[in-house]
Amino acid sequence: MNGGDEVVTAPAGPPQPLDWKFSQVFGERTAGEEVQEVDIISAIEFDKTGDHLATGDRGGRVVLFERTDTKDHDALRRDLERTDHPINRHPEFRYKTEFQSHEPEFDYLKSLEIEEKINKIRWCQTANRALFLLSTNDKTIKFWKVQEKKVKKISEMNLDPPKAVGNGCVASSSNSNSPTLCLANGGSSGNDFSFPPGGLPSLRLPVVTSQETNLVARCRRVYAHAHDYHINSISNNSDGETFISADDLRINLWNLEISNQSFNIVDVKPANMEDLTEVITSAEFHPTHCYMLAYSSSKGSIRLIDLRQSALCDSHAKLFEEPEAPGSRSFFTEIIASISDIKFAKDGRYMLSRDYMTLKLWDINMDSGPVSTFQVHEYLRPKLCDLYENDSIFDKFECCLSGDGLRVATGSYSNLFRIFGCAPGSTEATTLEASKNPMRRQVQTPSRPSRSLSSITRVVRRGAETSGVDANGNSFDFTTKLLHLAWHPTENSIACAAANSLYMYYA
């Protein structure tokens, strides 16, 4: 209290853990149903508005969904806003359309089969009520335009249906065997038709009407023959004109309007391939600075580069890596340190990275180490030998951040995914299962002392309390893995892929 007028309020604590609920599922499997390889989802992406969602699968198809609850409740929303009533909306999406983005190909020069599997999807800026997106497989990037087209049909004809008019020539009916010769003045020499005395009373042109609309996907451009190795990332620039594509050794910069030329901005290929020590695993543009991008490596480092410094950005502006703890090195150290995905927060201040065991949150202004580390499945550390033998240790899990930057999420095995709070003082660490009952496999995490994001001298480590089995005592299934998920850009809603099924949750 100051002079009896001002009330000093205590600083707000960390946000409460969210209560996640099942929303929808698309492509749900029945018990015992076998999943076809081509139907397994391999990419998920919300657009910037959150009103559209795209998925890609191993069969080269892209499926689009659109949100319906915002359209249906516009009037209700206005009424509730007038009365200052909280809006509790249940997010709902519906199937919009699908199209075949990529087909299987064969590189005859290198004798290699090129899979049709969609590796990444990125939404582009909309224009004239049309949707634009980029999709890529291992070698080829395509730019798609999806819009409604009116279906035009002929509703009125000049003659009866059995007869046709073409260029002033009247043809015989289809069941006549006698040939019909068209004369230059529009007459006919056929025996089955004769002009009435005085000619035709009138000539009516066919009337074309638009009775319905269809969604049509059209490939506008194909960006090909620019990568010798498999493309692992594509990312749009905030300028709306350019994008990058990255493979194991190079990052190329493209203009959306030019498909036959790209600029190589990063090249880590050594003169002698025997000297190769690391590869590029993921790359992403900064959300607001069009000259800045980050890429991660198989050694667990992230490099921030500035396109204003030079045309070829082999030298980085900043390097983010965590020093290795002394005495902790083993055969698996480098394998599990490899970063499979990086994402910028919406404001561009923080970066999120996912390696095999952990999620790390980085401040781009602090390259001494991550500000927070979240243990995703620490219980797997004793089983690294088994995971190496069955190749699971090379699985590439994606990660995502909430639109407000307060939470992060990533997938695990047994179709589980984990959500962590990263706000100062938060101890939120939730485990959910991709099913209609997401809390079924909930693992309770004991509360920990609050630690602030701003405390740069200590690194937060949470989530390591999970045992080697789930809450029910069942062993984890390494064949069912949740690799792909996406967070709605403005709301607490998550879409995740479990094999061929798309699950959606809200809080």
- 422, with CB counted inside 10 A (0-12, 13-18, 19+), is buried
DSSP designation for 277: -
Q: How many CB atoms lie within 10 A of CB 268?
A: 17
Q: Could you tell me how many residues make up the chain? A: 507
What residue ranges in 318-459 does DSSP mark as E strands?
318-320, 341-344, 350-354, 358-363, 372-375, 399-401, 407-411, 416-421, 429-433
Answer left, alpha or beta for residue 338, where phi above 0 means left and psi between -120 and 50 means alpha.
Answer: beta
What pLDDT, on a 0 to 100 scale, did the predictor assign at position 459? 40
What pLDDT, on a 0 to 100 scale, did the predictor assign at position 464? 45
What pLDDT, on a 0 to 100 scale, did the predictor assign at position 209? 77
What pLDDT, on a 0 to 100 scale, did the predictor assign at position 181? 46
From the centroid of its chain, how far is CA 3?
A: 55
Percentages helix, strand, coil for the chain (3-state, rounded to 5) are 10, 40, 55
Could you tell me where the DSSP H helices lie in 213-288?
none
Contact 407, 346 (CB under 8 A): no
3-class SS of residue 255: strand
What pLDDT, on a 0 to 100 scale, did the predictor assign at position 447? 34
DSSP designation for 389: H
Question: Which DSSP string corresponds to 135-157?
Answer: EE-SS-EEEEEEEEEEEEEEEE-
Order of strands across the sheet that contains 416-421: 399-401, 407-411, 416-421, 429-433
pLDDT per residue as tens, the chain (507 positions): 454 555 545 456 788 899 999 999 999 888 778 889 999 999 999 999 999 999 999 999 999 999 998 765 555 555 555 555 555 567 899 999 999 999 999 888 888 899 999 999 999 999 888 999 999 999 999 999 999 888 777 777 655 544 444 444 444 334 444 444 444 444 444 455 566 676 666 667 778 777 778 889 999 999 999 999 999 999 999 999 999 999 999 999 999 999 999 999 999 999 999 999 999 999 999 999 999 999 999 999 999 999 998 878 888 889 999 988 777 788 899 999 999 999 999 999 999 999 999 999 999 999 899 999 999 999 999 999 999 999 999 999 999 999 999 999 999 999 999 999 998 889 999 999 999 888 865 544 433 333 333 333 334 444 444 334 544 444 678 889 999 999 999 999 999 999 999 999 999
What pLDDT, on a 0 to 100 scale, did the predictor assign at position 385? 94
What pLDDT, on a 0 to 100 scale, did the predictor assign at position 455? 34
